[in-house]
Each structure stands twice: as structure tokens, then as C-alpha cells.
Structure 1
Amino acid sequence: MTQSMPIRPVEFPGGRALFRLDPAVAHLNHGSFGAVPIPVQEVQAAVRAEVHEDPDAFFVGVAERIEAARARIAGHLGAAPEGIAFISNATEGANLALDALPLADGDEILVTDHGYGTVVAAAARRARITTVSLDPNLPDEEAVREAVLAGLTPRTRVAVLDHISSPTARPIATPQLLADLAERGITTVVDGAHAPGMVADPLAGGADFWFGNLHKWGYAPSGSAVLAVAPEHRGRVRALVPSWEDAHGFPRSVENRATADYTGWLAAPEGLDLLDRLDAAKVRAHNSTLAAYGAALLAEVPGLTPLPYSEGLAMRALRLPPGTAETPGDARVLRERIAAQEGIRVLVWPWPGGGGIRVCGQIYNRPEEYERLAARLPAHLTGA
């Protein structure tokens, strides 16, 4: 799609006041770690106080409280409460899903070169992987779909795909692609790390296994995520570490971690409740507009090339000049130099022939933060 300069966005009313972020830093990387709004922090703090006041009472009844919180999350995601489980992060979800699959010697798992590193590593531990290379410049979702299907082999049994890719902010596991894979008998495992909160109906594709972080766009505390499992697979899902709740089976069996800190999970529904109170559609539109504005400004920087994008997402990516951030080490150095010298947080990702930069939009961001990045980035590209 052609990038054009959008109208300068206005601030989201009251958006900045909902967070305790350092105002001296431009936080343009919400997609990596998220940020917890103050009302959600306060709920978590209240639950933590309960733990300290009477640990016995808290831990004896925590399984039922987690179940109630899970039901609230399920309502937001359009899921059945018995079909999802709280987990800590997407990588845990990948391991739980892959452990539940009866893979035989010679079976293959398809992944893409846009996949998140630890999720791909989880697949590689269990079977031979086939990696589909997706050119970041593929023009649309149909081109992505065709590339993935072309990568299947007679031994492909599982496809591990991003819902929305982390570095390039592109939808990959679309409903059409998931349907095509199901027709071919391929089990689908979808990394939906960026979907809850940013996508209105994150489970619409009907994957066999889907996992997503709540702490990014769902305003939940860190360490809050969910795993959704289709009915036919739930009986095979086993906790990575056995617990006293194993006899209950999924989802309760994978949620129990003895005396772990459950306060984030119990506060997690407050994040999606807050999103609804702010008007989720309005928040998504605002965040997408901000990301588009930032990408349009960066597209004017010499040497940067905007990548194709999907409307409505709050992340945009651009390629950096050849020779810049081509390795993980170089990307990390550039990212931290921008942070240290300019007070700007962005994602810089490595790629052969020239890495990339990703900007995000969130209700605490202001247009001038993207303008500052566009003005100061060129100095960091010379000899980077």
C-alpha cells in the first residue's frame, strides 16, 4: 500500500494521565512490553495486599478466583471459559501447545522467518522445522498466504504462525490461511502475542491452538497471557510442571503454580474492562492513526523504506538502509544508542540487507514524539 502523510493526530483525552511512564522518554515501543495503566496497577496492589494479610486464605481459594477472572477474560475475547487458560507468556503457550501434539519421527513443523525467536525454538526442539521465507515487501495478505502454502511439504503436520508478526507488524495467520491449512490436515498453532486488545475479535480464525499476551494491548500486568485450545485437543494439554490441580485437567491444571504470584492474572480483567470504558474501537482507531503518522514521518528519512501494512493495526515497520542493523548485535546497539542519546524507545530488528525499525501508537503517545524521532534518527544511521 502507498504511504501518504496523514493529518497530524490529536492527543487521546486523558491518555497520558492513565500511566506512570517517564515523561522525559518517548515510549514508542508499546508492542514489546506494554505499559500498565494506573487503575490496573491499583487493583493488582490491592490483591497483593490480600496475599500479605492472610496467605493461607488467599492460596486456598486462589484457583476459584483465577477461574472467575478467566471467565471475564473469555467474555472479552469471545471464548468459552473452559477453552482458555491463563499462562505467563506466548512462549509458554507455544510449549504447552506443541507438547500436546503427537508428533512422530520424520514429521515436520512449518514456521516462517518472521516468527518470534523463542517460539520457533520451541518448535525446533520437538521436530524438524521447515522455514518459509516471507519477503517483508510481500504486498498483501494473499501473497503471504500463497507463500506459506507453497512451503508445505508431504511431512508437514503442524504450522506455527504469527497472528501479527512482531518485527514487521503483518497479519500472517488469517482466517483464510487457517482454513486452507485445516483442509490439508495441518494442525495450526498461532502466536497471537499482539492480538488481545489490538484486534477486535482475536479468535475469529479458529486455530487449533492460539496464545496471546494480555499485557501488551490489553493493559494487563506483565506476565499475563492466555492459551486457547480447540475442544478436540484439550484433553492432551498437560502442565509443563505437575501441580495439585492436575486432576482437574485443562485449563485449571496449567494455571496452578503453587505459591506463585497470581496477582497479575487476577487484575488482568481490569485492563480489558478499562479498554472498554475508554471505547475500544476509539482507542484502536487512535493508536492506528498515531502509528501511521509516525511511519509517514519516518518514510521521509533518507534511506528508510516503509513496508506494506494492514489498516487498523497500531504498529508500523520500515526497512533501514543496507548495512544497518543487519545482525542481532548491531540492531541492539542501534536501539540502545537511540534510547540513551535521544530518550526514545523503539524496536530495531535485524534483517539481512538492512534491518528495520518499528513504531507503535498508544493513548499515552503524542505526535511530537514521532516528530522528534524522525528529526534525530538520521544522525544514528550514518555508519550504524
Structure 2
Amino acid sequence: MSVPQPPEPIAAARLLFSLDPTVSHLNHGSFGAVPIAVQRAQQRLRDEMEANPLRFFTRGLVDRITHARRHVAGFLGADPEGTALVPNATTGVAMVLQSLGLRPGDEVLTTDHGYGAVALSVARECRRTGAVTRALHVPLAATDEEVVEVVRAGLRPGRTRLLVVDQLTSATARLLPVAAIVRVAGEHGIPVLVDAAHAPGMLATPVGSIGADFWVGNLHKWAYAPRGSAVLVVAPSWRERIEPLAVSWEQESGFPRRVEWAATQDYTGWLAAPVGLFTLRSLGADRVRGHNAALAAYGQRVVGDALGVAPSDLPDPGGRGVAMRIVPLPAGLGTTFDAARALRERIADRLATEVAVMSWNGRGWLRLCAQVYNTADEYERLSVRLPPLLAQR
């Protein structure tokens, strides 16, 4: 198997960010990194807000939010009237769950690749309503067809009230065939919530023709928006049933305004989100996606080689454009949430390198991301320095 080559760096891309140059930031997928131009745009909005708070909040703010939402929806390939800006993907998930009207005996179906906070949200809503939750095991190396069949076999028509599935999994960096899964669930009238936290910016028009009842995605990860910026996209038949977590003055305006307006929260991140999309377009969105995916694949291979992992044992993301890759850690390392967190912190402190360490299916995994500010030598340095650190158990 040929060794993937690193892509040509995007000139001066590192200068677009205010990241600490003494640290290798190889975990863009967790909290992103906001370009300096976007930081400044948000600060100008904050200055405007603090110069006259009453004017900022009462004269045209709702319309400005609507304008930002339409811009973001167009970028994602979503219907602006069915799109609401929300603080993050897990907030959108909570809104959907509490709007379903779950009852005792109902079931929320997930997979074992789901995000931990989403699983906690599902579990809480099930405890509150008397519903139950069940997770399907999807093998890491399953083909798209096999994933769809696992879901098909796991559905319980008449009992399964919601299927929650990731578009791009956080723990395993796997692109799942969500459009096909939505079609299978639709055959039984089962609504689907797609957790697409990593999709905006990384995948081209990620909403597109998926046809999910609900779709949530973060803008702060790969779309260069300020943190606290995400979207909830809802199919027409569900829009008037979606309720905010707290009622405020736009409650009678219907979806999406009733979801977006939350009194005196800081809306400047939403208003600055289009500047993040402008930055991505200025660099060339396809160019950025190609660069990031190729660099992540290169990083996976050089670190995997250093840890003695055969190329055939390096998981493939299952689709083009994915800028996250995982590498299996030596047996016994990072096998629990606490152990994974401790190892991540040790790598950060000892190697000045930020990575993600995941515990999934009884094994620890190193997740590497790639962004335009990263270079091949950062992964090469990690490949040299990581094995001795892991050997110090």
C-alpha cells in the first residue's frame, strides 16, 4: 500500500489564526479555531452592543439574525424557513427530544458511535418521560450497505419513535450513509435526527437531499464561525412542534424565531458567522476540504507506522473529504473515558501537542484532525515523540 503524500500547504494560512505557535493543534474537531478576521467582526458587534444595548437588542436585531440564518442556510443547502440558529448541536438535539412528546414504552434508537453528550441527553429525556433508549452496535469496518442493514434490523416499527444517527462520528471519524438510513427509517414512518456536528464546512452542502426530519450541525468547528454558533434544520411537518428550551418574546412567531430568540443572550457569534463562511470561500472551500482530508490521511499513516499499526488496520473514514482520522492505541491505553482524558492531557503537557483521545468499544483511539494551519511536520514530530511517551506507563 502506497504511503499517502502530504498536500501542498496553503500559503500563510497559519497567519489567519491567533493560535499559540509553540503548540501543535491537531484537534480542530473539538472546539475549532476562529480566524482573526471573524474574531474582529464579532468584537465590532460586541462594541456596538455595549455602546447602546437598548438600541442593539430592540431595533432590528431579529431581522439581522434572520439575515445571518439565510446566509448560513444557503451555504449548507438547507431551507432557510426550516433552519434555526442555536447555540450548539447538543442544544438542538435537546429541543428535538423535548418536542417529541415521548411516552412510556416509546423507544429512542441510537448507534454506539454516537456523541457522549447526545447519549446523555437521550437518556435524560427517556428517564423524564418513561421512554427507553437502545444503541445498535455498528462494526467500525462495516460497509455502507452493512450499516444500513444493521439499522434496518434494529428498527421496531410502532415502538421506535426516533432514530438518532451521526453524519460524521466524533469518536470514530466515520462518515455514515445517512441518506440511505433516512430512507430505510422512512419506510416505517420513523423520524430521524441526524447529528451532523462536524459536517458544516467539512462536507459540501451537507444537508442537501438527505431528507432527515431533523438535522443539527455546529458552525464553529469547520465553518470558521465563533463558538456558540450552530443550526437546527427541521422538516416542514415538524416545524410548528419544535419548542425552545425556554419561552421568550418571539414564542408566538413560530419556528424558527421562537427557537432563536432567547432574550439577552449574546447573538454576536451568529451575526459574525457569515464572516467565517466568507473566510472559507476566500481560501477556496473545495481547496480547503481537499487539503485537510489529505493531510489527515497523511498524519494517520505516519503516526500509525510509528505505533506499529499495519496500514490495513488503520480505519478508513468511509468517504471523501473527511478531515479526521483515528489510530488505534496500544492495548490497555485510553480504554475508559477518564483514562483517555488523562492521556490526552499528558500528551498536551509533555509534547505540546493537542490531540483527541477516544475510548470506544473497549479500546483507546487517537483522533487526529487537519486544518489549513497544520503542516506535515507536526504529525511527523508526533510520530517520533509519541511512542516513547506511551511506553512510560
**Which band: TM-score by shorter chain?**
over 0.9
**1:317 and 2:321 equivalent?**
no
How far 1:376 sits from its partner (Å)?
A: 1.1
SS in 2 for 1:300: helix
Residues 1:39 and 2:37 aligned together: yes
The match for 1:114 is 113
Write the mapping of 1:62-141 to structure 2, written as runs, cut at 5 A.
62-124=61-123, 125-126=125-126, 127-138=131-142, 140-141=143-144
User: How far apart, in 1, do the equivalents of 2:35 and 2:174 lie?
Assistant: 26
SS at match of 2:3: coil
Which consecutive unaligned segments of at least 5 residues does structure 1 have? none
Q: CA offset at residue 122 of structure 1?
A: 1.6
Query: Greater CA deviation, 73-82 or 260-269?
Result: 73-82
Identity, % of aligned pairs? Answer: 50
Kindly tell me: are residues 131 and 295 of structure 1, through their superposed partners in 2, closer, same or farther at Cα, counting changes over 3 Å? Answer: same
Shift of 1:173: 4.7
Could you tell me how far 1:352 is from its partner in structure 2?
4.3
Q: 1:137/1:383 Cα in 2 relative to 1: closer, same or farther (>3 Å)?
A: farther
Partner secondary structure for residue 350 of structure 1: strand
Query: In the alignment, is the contact (CA less than 8 A) between 1:303 and 1:320 conserved in 2?
Result: no
> Is the CA contact 2:28–2:369 (under 8 Å) kept in the aligned structure 1?
yes
- The answer to whether 1:19 aligns with 2:27 is no
Match of 1:301 among 306, 317, 323: 306
Partner residue of 1:163 out of 155, 164, 167: 167
Question: Which structure 2 segments of 5+ residues have no match?
Answer: none
Name the counterpart of 1:149: 152
Using the alignment, how far apart are the partners of 2:383 and 2:23 within structure 1? Answer: 15
CA contact (8 A) 1:173 1:190 kept: no
Q: Return the offset for 1:157.
A: 2.0
Match of 2:180 in 1: 176
Corresponding residue of 1:370: 379
> What is the DSSP-based 3-state SS (H/G/I as helix, E as strand, rest coil) of the residue aligned with 1:227?
strand
- Name which of 223, 226, 232 aligns with 1:227: 232
Letter paired with 1:84: T
User: For residues 19-73 of structure 1, what are the alpha-carbon distances to aligned partners after superposition, in whole Å with 9 as ceiling and x for unaligned?
Assistant: 0000110000000000000111111011011001111110003111111111111
Task: Find 1:268's aligned residue among 251, 268, 273.
Answer: 273
Aligned length: 381
Q: Residues 226 and 128 from structure 1, CA distance in 2 versus in 1: closer, same or farther, beyond 3 angstroms?
A: same
8 A contact 1:164–1:173 mirrored in 2: no
Q: Distance in 1 between matches of 2:135 and 2:392?
A: 32
Q: What letter corresponds to residue 97 of structure 1 in structure 2?
A: V
Tell me whether 300-309 or 213-222 shows the greater mean CA deviation: 300-309
Q: For residue 380 of structure 1, report the CA deviation from its aligned partner.
A: 2.5
Q: Aligned to 1:216, which of 197, 206, 221?
A: 221
- The answer (yes or no) to whether the contact 2:155–2:185 under 8 Å persists in 1 is no
CA separation in 2, counterparts of 1:51 and 1:81?
Answer: 26
- Give the Cα separation in 2 of the matches to 1:173 and 1:62: 38
Q: How far apart, in 2, do the equivalents of 1:88 and 1:345 lie? A: 24
2:165–2:178 contact (8 Å) kept in structure 1: no
- TM-score with structure 1 length normalisation? 0.96
Which AA in structure 2 matches 1:55? Answer: P
* CA distance in 1: counterparts of 2:381 and 2:146, whole angstroms: 35
TM-score (normalised: structure 2): 0.94
Q: 1:4 offset after TM fit, Å? A: 4.0
